[in-house]
Chains A and B, each alone.
Chain A
Amino acid sequence: MWEYAPAPESRDIANLKPSYKMFVDGKFVEGTGEPLKTINPGTEEVLAEVSTASESDVDTAVKAARKAYDRVWSKMPGSERAKYIYRIARQIQERGRELAVLESLDNGKPIKESRDVDVPTAASHFFYHAGWADKLGYAGYGPDPKPLGVAGQVIPWNFPLLMAAWKIAPALACGNTVVLKPAETTPLTALVLAEIIQQCDLPPGVVNIIPGAGDVGAALVGHADVDKVAFTGSTDVGKIIQGQLAGTSKKLTLELGGKAANIVFDDAPLDQAVEGIVNGIFFNQGHVCCAGSRLLVQESIAEELIEKLHARVSTLRVGDPLDKNTDVGAINSREQLTKIQELTAAGEAEGATRWTSSCPLPDKGFYFAPTVFSGVSQAMRIAREEIFGPVLSVLTFRTPEEAVAKANNTPYGLSAGVWTEKGSRILWMAQRMRAGVVWSNTFNRFDPTAPFGGYQESGFGREGGRTGLEAYLDV
């Protein structure tokens, strides 16, 4: 028997400090909110204490951002802004290992993902947008498009550093200043990004990072001097924000939940489709708003595909997020684990057939074994509600029309996947899918040049690409 020996990345690389402060006006300062303790979901141990913002700290941060906007950043030529943004990108690469280990500690995602996806993609977002900073006149928004002002940004816990990059990079490139609130459970990498921003000598106040819970986010998006709000998170909170902003002149983009359909036709490249399904739902423990959580498979190959899928999912290695051979890490919080358990119990109660990998799970920490439900119908909760965990619901279809109808039959519309060797069918499907991103013969691929965003309850506005600049320009 050949068992892989443990291959853990050293946690010392993370340079973990006992306490972290918020970053306002170019300095690390204590917040006046109640400090929070962030834990390692892989072991449940406390990692560090993090100071949080109170309402008055939010005001201080927004004022700093306004001052930096008025006095420096909005007046600086794009070619100069670009230099700062390039510098941030290079520093992210320079400190890539540190960021990757810290991200895995704080979030629970496997090190191979933080190392190979989160950190490099975060750097590439800064690189890409740095290139736009002095070319905005050629982006299709007129000869000299203007920034909006101060951007209030609230990001989720599933890709803490990467989401910060998605938000900050285009805002800075377009000439806005930023106040960003990282998620309560994952504030650490955003604060290391703040260190990087400080090292890169960005003028004080251009980027401010204020940790805290939902109340801090609410105070930020509700602040009278914020011109632009960007939120990534749950649909419920997105709706509250949209209500809160109604009647104000603030520009808003929302990137919310999803219940994506991954559609496999009978002529698909089956082995790669299996890989794509696995990547679609088990990447980042399924904590992905665009996760392919509904597998729609053509009935004629359903049995064969599910058999292959079970065999493949059985090989997934669940465990220590810092082990380089871990495929599925820890669920981010006990709260999220409880939600996943509740929804999977509902799946069983409503009559779906549950299959769960027999992989061993660690004794401590928040873990959930990869699970596949077959015999799922559209009426079940596991087909309608976003589970945000390593749980796949398998449905079947008979014709392309039925596949489209079922795929679109959701209040969400963030992403979709189409697997077929027939090019014409890919295009036919893509035209009919109500989803912001349609992947074909792949899934969960992210690139700063490609716009990302949703339909309906998955939100509005695009991030990335030329289209994504619109959210940060006065057009």
Chain B
Amino acid sequence: MAAPTTLPSALADAVRDESSLRRFLHGLPGVDQVGVEQRAAGLGTRSIKKAAKLHAIDLAISMVDLTTLEGADTHGKVRSLAAKAKRPDPERPDVPKVAAVCVYPDMVKTAADDLVGTGINVASVATAFPSGRSTMDIKLADTRFAVEQGASEVDMVIDRGAFLSGRYGQVFEEIVKIKEACGDAHLKVILETGELVTYDNVRRASWLALLAGGDFIKTSTGKVQPAATLPVTHVMLQAVRDWKQQTGELRGVKPAGGIRTTKDAIKYLVAVHEVAGREWLDPNLFRFGASTLLNDLLMQRRTQLDGHYSGPDYVTVD
């Protein structure tokens, strides 16, 4: 197995072969379910008001990966999403633009054409999203196609079947190969934590993805319940924090699915702030995979600035 980056010796040893990798992942400290859920609930009571809230809303908007991943997606739908990404609130040009638009590979070109020169990234899911149940060749072809079409970010899924049956080496190899196929595109590795179920598995999968070179670790496809949860995100934030501690490198986290309100988004930002650290309060290191969240952020932003609530008809539905 080939380590994608120059790792410190302890971590380089971990990826020497399949059994080393297994020993490393099983040697990670366990996660106590009650404890992590209690901590997440406790931090969730932070009261973010006034200037702090407005700052959080703008930050959250700039971290949104505006997403449409439906069988019913059309070029028209994707174009209107791209327009929304550029100007989330047409009446308020000072609203920050979102981080990226996230679509299926066949919609990448449409999105990329519309977003040229905007600085907004185009993210594409790939690798037989959302199940990941296909051959390696098809997953690689899927990835290459997305990148050729203009995706600057690739959201891959891991093979949860392989992970759950303990074939960590296979999962590792897949990530390494997809990372190669990405070229310069950033790789987000979707763990699909709703199928991994235990926090111990989430921690192992996080480290596996980081060791294999994932730029981001992402909770979910949005197609499986539960999708992103606060405690799962805590565990993943601990992983990137510890990764930085050991390697000096900064890697990102993306919760996706089920985050619909400003209140929820702020709870996540508090977790980023207090679990990982201030450095991660940056769209390059934290993203929200969401679609309906953006409009709630816009409504709350107006409420903060105008002093009253305006209602859902004052934000655009795209």
- A positions within 8 Å CB-CB of B: 1-7, 112, 116, 267-272, 275-276, 315, 324-325, 421, 441-442
Answer whether residue B75 sits at the interface, using C-beta atoms and an 8 A cutoff.
no
CA distance A185 to B255 in the complex (A): 47
Write out the residue numbers on chain B whose beta carbons fall within 8 Å of the beta carbon of A270: 29
Task: List the A residue with the shortest CB-CB distance to B270.
Answer: A4
For the complex formed, measure the closest distance between the CB of A10 and the CB atoms of chain B, giving whole angstroms. Answer: 13
Interface size on B, residues (CB 8 A): 27
Write out the residue numbers on chain B whose beta carbons fall within 8 Å of the beta carbon of A271: 29, 31, 35-36, 238
CA distance A190 to B46 in the complex (A): 28
The 5 tightest CB contacts between A and B, nearest first, are A272-B35, A7-B47, A324-B47, A269-B32, A272-B32
B34 in contact with A5 (CB, 8 Å): no
A441 in contact with B50 (CB, 8 Å): no
CA distance A315 to B270 in the complex (A): 12
* A-B contact sample (7 more), CB < 8 A, given A269-B30, A325-B46: A1-B278, A5-B51, A268-B29, A268-B30, A271-B29, A275-B38, A325-B47
Known pairs A2-B56, A7-B49, A421-B30; A272 contacts B273 (CB<8 A): no
For the complex formed, measure the closest distance between the CB of A322 and the CB atoms of chain B, giving whole angstroms. Answer: 11
CA distance A195 to B190 in the complex (A): 57
CA distance A441 to B36 in the complex (A): 11
B48 in contact with A5 (CB, 8 Å): yes
For the complex formed, measure the closest distance between the CB of B72 and the CB atoms of chain A, giving whole angstroms. Answer: 38
Task: List the A residue with the shortest CB-CB distance to B234.
Answer: A271
The A interface is mostly helix, strand or loop, or mixed, namely loop
A-B contact pairs, 29 of them (CB 8 A): A1-B278, A2-B55, A2-B56, A2-B59, A4-B47, A4-B48, A4-B52, A5-B48, A5-B51, A6-B49, A7-B47, A7-B48, A112-B45, A267-B30, A269-B30, A269-B31, A269-B35, A270-B29, A271-B31, A271-B35, A275-B38, A275-B39, A276-B35, A421-B30, A441-B34, A441-B35, A442-B34, A442-B35, A442-B38
Task: List the B residue with the shortest CB-CB distance to A266.
Answer: B29
Write out the residue numbers on chain B whose beta carbons fall within 8 Å of the beta carbon of A7: 47-49
B39 in contact with A272 (CB, 8 Å): yes
Please report which residues of chain B, range 17-53, place their CB below 8 angstroms from some CB of chain A when the two chains form the complex: 29-32, 34-36, 38-39, 45-53
CA distance A276 to B32 in the complex (A): 11
CA distance A127 to B34 in the complex (A): 25
Answer whether residue B281 sits at the interface, using C-beta atoms and an 8 A cutoff.
yes
CA distance A447 to B56 in the complex (A): 36
Write out the residue numbers on chain B whose beta carbons fall within 8 Å of the beta carbon of A268: 29-30
Write out the residue numbers on chain A whose beta carbons fall within 8 Å of the beta carbon of B30: 267-269, 421
Write out the residue numbers on chain B whose beta carbons fall within 8 Å of the beta carbon of A442: 34-35, 38
For the complex formed, measure the closest distance between the CB of A33 and the CB atoms of chain B, giving whole angstroms. Answer: 40
> Per-position contact with A for B255-291: 1 when CB-CB < 8 Å, else 0?
0000000000000010001100010010000000000
Task: List the A residue with the shortest CB-CB distance to B45.
Answer: A112
CA distance A1 to B281 in the complex (A): 9
CA distance A275 to B278 in the complex (A): 19
Write out the residue numbers on chain A whose beta carbons fall within 8 Å of the beta carbon of B50: 5
B45 in contact with A116 (CB, 8 Å): yes
Known pairs A271-B238, A315-B274; A324 contacts B31 (CB<8 A): no
CA distance A271 to B238 in the complex (A): 8
For the complex formed, measure the closest distance between the CB of A216 and the CB atoms of chain B, giving whole angstroms. Answer: 38
CA distance A276 to B29 in the complex (A): 15
For the complex formed, measure the closest distance between the CB of B45 and the CB atoms of chain A, giving whole angstroms. Answer: 6
B35 in contact with A5 (CB, 8 Å): no
Please report which residues of chain B, range 38-96, place their CB below 8 angstroms from some CB of chain A when the two chains form the complex: 38-39, 45-53, 55-56, 59
Write out the residue numbers on chain A whose beta carbons fall within 8 Å of the beta carbon of B238: 271
> Per-position contact with A for B113-144: 1 when CB-CB < 8 Å, else 0?
00000000000000000000000000000000
Write out the residue numbers on chain A whose beta carbons fall within 8 Å of the beta carbon of B51: 5
CA distance A276 to B274 in the complex (A): 16
For the complex formed, measure the closest distance between the CB of A314 and the CB atoms of chain B, giving whole angstroms. Answer: 10
Write out the residue numbers on chain A whose beta carbons fall within 8 Å of the beta carbon of B35: 269, 271-272, 275-276, 441-442
Task: List the B residue with the shortest CB-CB distance to A270.
Answer: B29
Task: List the B residue with the shortest CB-CB distance to A323.
Answer: B47
CA distance A48 to B80 in the complex (A): 63
> Per-position contact with A for B191-229: 1 when CB-CB < 8 Å, else 0?
000000000000000000000000000000000000000
For the complex formed, measure the closest distance between the CB of B27 and the CB atoms of chain A, giving whole angstroms. Answer: 10
For the complex formed, measure the closest distance between the CB of B226 and the CB atoms of chain A, giving whole angstroms. Answer: 20
Task: List the B residue with the shortest CB-CB distance to A316.
Answer: B274
Between B35, B39, B55, B59, the greatest number of chain A beta carbons within 10 A of the residue's beta carbon is seen for: B35
For the complex formed, measure the closest distance between the CB of B110 and the CB atoms of chain A, giving whole angstroms. Answer: 35
Write out the residue numbers on chain A whose beta carbons fall within 8 Å of the beta carbon of B47: 4, 7, 324-325
* A5 touches which of B53, B59, B273, B278 (Cβ 8 Å): B53
For the complex formed, measure the closest distance between the CB of B249 and the CB atoms of chain A, giving whole angstroms. Answer: 18
For the complex formed, measure the closest distance between the CB of B68 and the CB atoms of chain A, giving whole angstroms. Answer: 29
For the complex formed, measure the closest distance between the CB of B241 and the CB atoms of chain A, giving whole angstroms. Answer: 9
Write out the residue numbers on chain B whose beta carbons fall within 8 Å of the beta carbon of A276: 35
For the complex formed, measure the closest distance between the CB of A321 and the CB atoms of chain B, giving whole angstroms. Answer: 14
CA distance A421 to B269 in the complex (A): 30
Write out the residue numbers on chain B whose beta carbons fall within 8 Å of the beta carbon of A269: 29-32, 35
For the complex formed, measure the closest distance between the CB of B276 and the CB atoms of chain A, giving whole angstroms. Answer: 11
For the complex formed, measure the closest distance between the CB of B278 and the CB atoms of chain A, giving whole angstroms. Answer: 7
Write out the residue numbers on chain B whose beta carbons fall within 8 Å of the beta carbon of A315: 274
For the complex formed, measure the closest distance between the CB of A329 and the CB atoms of chain B, giving whole angstroms. Answer: 15
Write out the residue numbers on chain A whose beta carbons fall within 8 Å of the beta carbon of B31: 269, 271-272
Write out the residue numbers on chain A whose beta carbons fall within 8 Å of the beta carbon of B49: 5-7
* A3 touches which of B29, B46, B52 (Cβ 8 Å): B52
CA distance A441 to B32 in the complex (A): 8
For the complex formed, measure the closest distance between the CB of B122 and the CB atoms of chain A, giving whole angstroms. Answer: 28
Write out the residue numbers on chain B whose beta carbons fall within 8 Å of the beta carbon of A441: 32, 34-35
Between A4, A268, A421, the greatest number of chain B beta carbons within 10 A of the residue's beta carbon is seen for: A4
CA distance A6 to B55 in the complex (A): 14
For the complex formed, measure the closest distance between the CB of A304 and the CB atoms of chain B, giving whole angstroms. Answer: 9
CA distance A394 to B46 in the complex (A): 29
A272 in contact with B45 (CB, 8 Å): no
